[in-house]
Structure 1
Amino acid sequence: MSWSDRFVGIPHAEFGRTRTGSDCWGLACIIYREELGITLADYLGEYASPGDLGEISALIDHGRASPLWVAVPETPIAFDIALFRRGRWSSHIGIVIRHGLMIHMREEDCAKAERYDTGPWRHRFAGHYRHVSRAVERPVQIVSQARR
């Protein structure tokens, strides 16, 4: 059993941010709050329509430039955000369960676990991002000096 099983089946709802219904970002808000104790910005009122992929993409680009999110060049870990393009717009996200597997909101359906390293999501993948509070710090190497 995975932590993600508790979120599978949450119904889709435009502008939703609760377990009674959410969109893809709403699902991230729910998971981060319940699993990590992190409150993400809800972005409600910052885009007019879920169909306006340009506005959503602009919000995502603003988020990527924010100091709150760090690009993950190496292998992603659980709770990283996987970003996807729809057409020319980066406008959909999933939450990594493990490398290649995400939970995300299927429009007009519900939250589902799905592979993104194969199949239809593979060619849409645009990068992984980690919340700064979860960024892995490089280990500090302590060099002891011998006494003379």
Structure 2
Amino acid sequence: MKNDEFVRLVNGKPWKNRACTFEGMDCWGLVVLYYRSVMGIELHHLEGYEAGKDFVTCYEGESEFWVNQPVDTAGCIAVFYRGDVPSHIGIMLTPTKCLHSRGESGFVRIDSSLALMKVYSKVEFKRYGQV
């Protein structure tokens, strides 16, 4: 699937806690679907994620598979923090646009990375270790 097709398919879909389907997804589910559908990569996926563990617990178990990069590039992930705690994740479509599934009662949408950086205290950009 091409990047544009994926974006059209998921944009506006409802946020659903611990979901990883095209009918609904949370922020990590969106990343998993993107890498599976667009990049052809099956990400390491912790069992605890579907079991309802919190985002931080799941992220800590997954973060070892990702490599920091100094700038945002298309296809990398953006990890957003509240204080020192990672609390949200999205996919950078361009250096200025982030596709993400935002919180309860939210939906998948594209926002400016600059606008998101105003909501969160810091952001890290990462690429999957095998990419």
Q: Fold conserved (TM > 0.5)?
A: yes
**CA-CA distance at 1:25 after TM superposition:** 0.1
Structure 1 residue 105 and structure 2 residue 108: aligned? no
Structure 1 residue 71 and structure 2 residue 68: aligned? yes
CA RMSD, 1 decimal:
2.2
Q: Which contiguous aligned blocks of 4+ residues in structure 1 show a shift greater than 6 angstroms?
A: none
Report Cα offsets for 1:67-109 as digits up to 9, x if no partner.
x211001x32211010001354212101000112100002212
Question: Aligned with 1:45: secondary structure?
Answer: helix
Task: Figure out how many residues of one structure are paired with residues of the other and give that number.
Answer: 125
Note the 1:132-147 alignment, pairs <5 A: 132-134=129-131
Note the 1:120-139 alignment, pairs <5 A: 120-122=116-118, 124=120, 125-134=122-131
Segments of structure 2 that go 5 or more residues without pairing to the other structure are none
Q: Which amino acid aligns with 1:12?
A: W
Question: Aligned with 1:133: secondary structure?
Answer: coil
Q: Of 112, 120, 123, which residue of structure 2 is paired with 1:115?
A: 112
Give 1:138's aligned residue.
none
Q: Which amino acid aligns with 1:84?
A: F
Question: Aligned with 2:11: secondary structure?
Answer: coil
Structure 1 residue 90 and structure 2 residue 75: aligned? no
Give 1:29's aligned residue.
32
Q: Which amino acid aligns with 2:123?
A: A
Q: Which amino acid aligns with 2:92?
A: V
**CA-CA distance at 1:9 after TM superposition:** 1.5
Structure 1 or 2: larger helix share? 2
**CA-CA distance at 1:111 after TM superposition:** 0.4
Give 2:19's aligned residue.
16
Kindly, what percent of the aligned residue pairs are identical? 27
Give 1:80's aligned residue.
76
Counterparts in 2 of 1:87 and 1:98: CA distance versus 1, 3 Å: same
How many angstroms apart in 2 are the aligned matches of 1:109 and 1:42?
Answer: 23
Give 1:43's aligned residue.
46
TM-score (norm 1): 0.73
Give 1:142's aligned residue.
none
Q: Is the 8 A contact 2:97 2:111 kept in 1?
A: yes
